[in-house]
Amino acid sequence: MAQKMIVFIIATGILAYYIYTPIPEEVDQKLKITMLNSLIRTWDHVGQLLEWLGWRHVMHSLRILTDMQNIPALSDENITVTDTIFSGVPVRLYVPTQQTNELKRGIIYIHGGGWCLGSPAMKSYDTVSRNTAKDLNAVIVSTSYRLAPEFHFPTQFDDVYTVVKYFLQDHILAEYSVDPERTGISGDSAGGNLAAAVTQQIAEDAEVRNKPKIQALIYPALQPIDFDTPSYQQNKNMPLLTKSLTVRFWSEYFANDPSLYHAMASNTHMALEFNYLFTFVNWSMYLPENVKQSYTYSEPMFGKAELLQKYPGLMDSRAAPLLVKDSKLKLLPKTYVMTCEYDVLRDDGIMYVMRLRNAGVSVTHYHVKDGLHGALSLNSWPFDLENTKIVEAHYINWLDKNL
């Protein structure tokens, strides 16, 4: 009997560990968030065990969870949905069936997933793209890109850039009845990173005549050189994106190298000779006082230069859009940035807002005070949240007014 009681206590403790997560009082529907976070944590831990045993990469295990959410391209009375290829890259295309005398707006959407997971076929992304196409009578190009750990930077950037350049050609826009002066680029999380990086590159690309009118960045990841911002400290164990998972995503973006992950996790992956880059992400300069709170900026710790010599992408603005001079930011179009209070990526977005405004760019900053990472995509049963409807409505309304 005593042995059974011990086993029961241990099992109960393990279950409580996976289920219990401290969630701020401001966040609604805690039960749904707790259950979803428990699922993600359990799957992540199982994946890490399988990786430790040498059976499969942890991202391959996590990918099972996201692939389970994929749905086919289904058209309805409002939208024709097709899976097709743009210049060698798979995309899911949403074309409104409503006929008008005006040309349509066009948006390229880039999904998140830490450059390792996800696709336009996920139900959450399909829902956002479908709703955006219907509400705006706009053509939505939801693009895929090759994923880590099979592929690393700059492959993901190159795939998205290829799609954007292809779509912005005159004859392609004309084929889909899209106004060349009313196009935009949007994305969330890692997709927000790619959206920001592509928009910067497009602005300077002489081959692209039709420049995007807007960019919309949803809780974007914008820099991999300082993982000690206030939001990383405050939200390191917050659902649904922990600091450790974020760092793992970043490290996998560049390489399958555990030494890189461990250096990034300890914030010692930068070398002293590249300390000038920290001026672009010095949060003590760019975060308002209410965001900095009681956190104190400390000088970065530096490691050896070997990692940066091996993985120069860490310093490449195509991977880290915050690492650019103001002269490049001045070229950018009207911008929308969404951040969430309880998100490790919050301060990346806020710093970009401040730097864009300092460069003279028109920016709308929508801060979700009770939001967690993934606020736009928690729209599918059984983990659909009421707050997601508000977040999506704000995003689509901004697009409607500015595109």
Q: Is 400 a catalytic residue?
A: no
Q: Which of 44, 129, 373, 377 is catalytic?
A: 373
Give the DSSP letter string of 152-199. -TTHHHHHHHHHHHHHTSHHHHHHTTEEEEEEEEEEETHHHHHHHHHH
CB neighbour list of residue 53: distance below 8 Å, 6 or more residues apart: none
CA 358/CA 152 separation, integer angstroms: 32
104-128 burial: b if 16+ Cβ within 10 Å, else e:
bbbbbbbbbbbbbbbbbbbebbbbb
Q: Is 45 a catalytic residue?
A: no
Q: Which of 186, 189, 251, 377 is catalytic?
A: 189
Q: Return the closest-CA partner of residue 340 out of 214, 220, 195, 192.
A: 220
Q: Which of 343, 347, 348, 377 is catalytic?
A: 343
End-to-end CA distance of the chain: 69
Q: What are 70's strand-pairing partners?
A: 122
CA 359/CA 329 separation, integer angstroms: 6
Q: Return the closest-CA partner of residue 202 out of 223, 184, 188, 217.
A: 184
Q: Is 61 a catalytic residue?
A: no
The tokens for 175 are: 């084929």
Active site residues: 189, 343, 373
